[in-house]
Structure 1
Amino acid sequence: AYTVSLEQGLQNVGFSINQTAKDIYEKYKSANQEAFIKPEGITAMFNPYDPPEMSFTAAELTSIAQSADVGIFTIGRNAGEGGDRVEVDDFLLTNVEQQILSDASMAFKRENKKLIVVLNIGGVIETASWKAQPDAILLAWQGGQEGGNSVADILSGQVNPSGKLPITFPNALVDHASHTNFPLDGEQMSLGGIIKDMMLGSKEKKEADKVKNKDFTYYDEGIYVGYRHFDKAQMEVSYPFGYGLSYTDFEFGDLDVTQENDTINLALTVKNIGALAGKEVVQVYVSKPNTQIDRPVQELKAFAKTKTLQPDEEETIKFAIPKADLAYWNEANSTWTVEEGMYQIKVGNSSRNMLQMTEITYGKGEE
């Protein structure tokens, strides 16, 4: 196996790594060699590789900004088995990360140059407090073996990004509906403790000895998971479900809706009105206003990505949504039921940016 680092990926597309920044990093790494030794064996998955973040002086960042064309600041996150995620120094940036980002942003702005943040993460982190500082943020997730090449292709413009968020980035961790009952709440378990729990389980413990969010947890969210919770609470978020930018712009045409038997047929035209070729993702959400049933504000029912559209090129996107997809779970009858009345069909490029909307009506409720 192999791994393409971001440094190698950038070099592969023709970028040169700033020598000042590289020298500072290599000097720090050489002085802290033990901290950069990756753990091996079975214990490695319980103690993730997480070398300490180095600091930069204001003078060093100024020197880097003066000698570079653009700055790239990467933020990485890792986690181990039995202790995934904590709030401090994980969901939130560390103090060192905050300081570097703030100082680097100011240093590059003084030189009228851009600073880009690349998020090399496997889960959501807090972005609301600092997202205005850099000029751009690229969410790389965990790119795997070809991660360096993938990120470099986007940063160089060889690839126009078209991804959309499959999850909401909240303003704060407590905004999540599951926060109160999250298992372990970031507590790191020992290898021995995990093996013991696997062998014995919570069944062997007396009720009085069971610990909440370790031996048991409460599931209070019901149907309000993810964006459904944030929509119901009318809560502001940092980045909404379905969000994602492109190097070009798109225009959505009028939404055409027809009903045929048990299918709702949708069609609309997407046009590239920008200067570069790119792809857009069309997202279809359905709402049931004026309902007495406990239902989400809206639900994603379909989505599709266009082909690569050249400037001024357009494509008609079509959807066929089964009427059964409008149903809710009827607890009284233990069956899926389609409510009668009016439904809103909304089309946009994120859960918080609807560009077209229409209404359809169903008669008597059907099951």
Structure 2
Amino acid sequence: ARIAYLAGAEGVVLLKNNATLPLGNGTRIAVFGTGQIETIKGGTGSGDTHPKYTISIIEGIRESALKLDESLAKTYREYIEEMRTKEDYKPRKDSWGTVIKPKLPENFLSKEEIEHLAQNNDVAVVVISRISGEGYDRKPVKGDFYLSDDERELLERISEIFHSFDRKVIVVLNIGSPVEVVSWRNLADGILLAWQAGQETGRIVADVLTGKINPSGKLPVTFPMDYSDVPSWNFPGEPEDNPEKVTYVEDIFVGYRYYDTFGVEPAYEFGFGLSYTEFEYDDLEVSIENGVLKLSYSITNSGARPGKEVSQVYVKPPRGKLDKPFQELKAFHKTKMLEPGETEKINLEIPLNDLSSFDGEKWLLEAGTYEVRIGASSKDIRLKGFFVLEKD
């Protein structure tokens, strides 16, 4: 359980924070969304696990120093228990043996009930959950990649009412893959991507909310503006109901390579992730020795809280004979826990062969000027350096 907790804690990604997080001890908190109780610990198929216990988000918050609105928690517990007895919402097992719980309607609370909750709490936390994994890819429909109508209505009502009382709204994403966020993110003051973080998900969420954990995760995927922006949008092929043909239209421009190369603006770029502190990058040195690209740079915690930073090394190749992405990730490094004012010196080595491209017959490392780009994400580049290869 401790390993599960530590792994999940390292991966939490803070997507938005308008002077809202972390929350102080004793903050009065109202938790909305059925995912607070039916927290998704993992995905389907090989993404599923069978731990002795799972801590839900509501259980994690209840254990924390936050002051949970127990009346609302009781309302959700009774609502879920009642709805799960109805035929349309009874849990079922898929072909992998994973228990799948059909999505419940989320907008069952009245405006008057939410107003009462806003009067008696400091913060609203809205949990949005999605199962994903083998056989459960995101689909461009409401209730999957997009919010369902009832989810949107709930979030809009909570945002309007809580903000009218000068309260804050935080969204916790208990999901395994990207969802659409652009149309609703302005309704929230903070957005926390907890993923499907395993059996300790609830404690992890609570500890990030209170600042016991300073989030240090970075996105390993791109969050697109819209599903139509995804380069592999035509998966699983044609015809859709019984695919016989799949065209890999993204070619070599997989993931962030596509967005960067063709100037497609994402909602949150590959490698993105905020912290409760700030970091400065300095002192980049670039050299080539014995076929190895050697890099040295420093990262300083310039904020007021201890934290970790994941720096990313992208290499932008010269224009040559072969098509290449605008840049590619070639290395990354996560610092130790840096105290405010503390600096870590980072030294990385990348074999030049790792920069090669395949020309159809052999791997080729082309001559020209290469740009080394050190950043906090694929778009937030903090340091740049160069090196030149005189010949292929």
TM-score bucket (shorter structure): 0.7 to 0.9
Deviates more, 1:65-74 or 1:353-362: 65-74
Partner of residue 73 from structure 1, selected from 126, 138, 148: 126
TM-score using structure 2 length:
0.81
Structure 1: stretches of 5+ with no match in the other structure: 188-210
Structure 2 residue matching 1:149: 3-state secondary structure: helix
Partner of residue 19 from structure 1, selected from 56, 70, 74: 70
The equivalent of 1:2 in structure 2 is: 53
CA contact 1:77–1:120 (8 Å) conserved in 2: yes
Structure 1 residue matching 2:147: 3-state secondary structure: coil
> Superposed, which structure 2 residues align to 1:259-274 within 5 Å?
259-274=288-303
Determine which structure has the larger helix proportion and give its number.
1
The equivalent of 1:295 in structure 2 is: 324
> Superposed, which structure 2 residues align to 1:108-127 within 5 Å?
108-127=162-181
C-alpha distance in structure 1 between counterparts of 2:103 and 2:238, whole Å: 24
Structure 1 residue matching 2:187: 3-state secondary structure: coil
The equivalent of 1:349 in structure 2 is: 376
Structure 1 residue matching 2:305: 3-state secondary structure: coil
The equivalent of 1:275 in structure 2 is: 304
C-alpha distance in structure 1 between counterparts of 2:240 and 2:336, whole Å: 42
Structure 2 residue matching 1:128: 3-state secondary structure: coil
Regions of 4+ moved over 6 Å: none
> Superposed, which structure 2 residues align to 1:310-329 within 5 Å?
310-329=339-358
The equivalent of 1:63 in structure 2 is: 116
TM-score using structure 1 length:
0.87
1:161 aligns with 2:202: no
Mark the CA change 1:41 to 1:163 in structure 2 (over 3 Å): closer, same or farther. Answer: closer
1:176 aligns with 2:230: yes
Which residue identity lines up with residue 104 of structure 1 in the other structure? I
The equivalent of 1:251 in structure 2 is: 280
Partner of residue 251 from structure 2, selected from 219, 222, 232: 222
1:27 shift after superposition: 4.2
1:19 shift after superposition: 3.0
Structure 2: stretches of 5+ with no match in the other structure: 1-51
The equivalent of 1:93 in structure 2 is: 147
C-alpha distance in structure 2 between counterparts of 1:313 and 1:127, whole Å: 35
CA contact 2:219–2:269 (8 Å) conserved in 1: yes
Partner of residue 106 from structure 2, selected from 32, 54, 70: 54
RMSD across aligned positions (CA): 2.0
Mark the CA change 1:255 to 1:86 in structure 2 (over 3 Å): closer, same or farther. Answer: same
C-alpha distance in structure 2 between counterparts of 1:166 and 1:67, whole Å: 38
Structure 2 residue matching 1:254: 3-state secondary structure: strand
C-alpha distance in structure 2 between counterparts of 1:226 and 1:85, whole Å: 15
Of the two, which has the highest radius of gyration? 1
CA contact 2:238–2:245 (8 Å) conserved in 1: no
State the aligned residue count.
337
1:149 aligns with 2:203: yes
Structure 2 residue matching 1:255: 3-state secondary structure: strand
1:305 aligns with 2:358: no
Partner of residue 133 from structure 1, selected from 181, 187, 203: 187
C-alpha distance in structure 1 between counterparts of 2:173 and 2:379, whole Å: 22
C-alpha distance in structure 2 between counterparts of 1:310 and 1:172, whole Å: 38
> Superposed, which structure 2 residues align to 1:19-38 within 5 Å?
19-35=70-86, 37-38=90-91
Mark the CA change 1:40 to 1:114 in structure 2 (over 3 Å): closer, same or farther. Answer: same
Which residue identity lines up with residue 229 of structure 2 in the other structure? D
CA contact 1:224–1:296 (8 Å) conserved in 2: yes
CA contact 1:20–1:63 (8 Å) conserved in 2: no
Q: Deviations over 1:56-84 (max 9, x none)?
A: 22222111111112111000012476453
Identity level (%): 39
C-alpha distance in structure 2 between counterparts of 1:30 and 1:344, whole Å: 58
Mark the CA change 1:182 to 1:256 in structure 2 (over 3 Å): closer, same or farther. Answer: same
C-alpha distance in structure 2 between counterparts of 1:301 and 1:136, whole Å: 31
Mark the CA change 1:135 to 1:268 in structure 2 (over 3 Å): closer, same or farther. Answer: same
C-alpha distance in structure 2 between counterparts of 1:290 and 1:20, whole Å: 63
CA contact 1:48–1:80 (8 Å) conserved in 2: no
C-alpha distance in structure 2 between counterparts of 1:90 and 1:316, whole Å: 43
1:362 aligns with 2:367: no
1:22 shift after superposition: 2.2
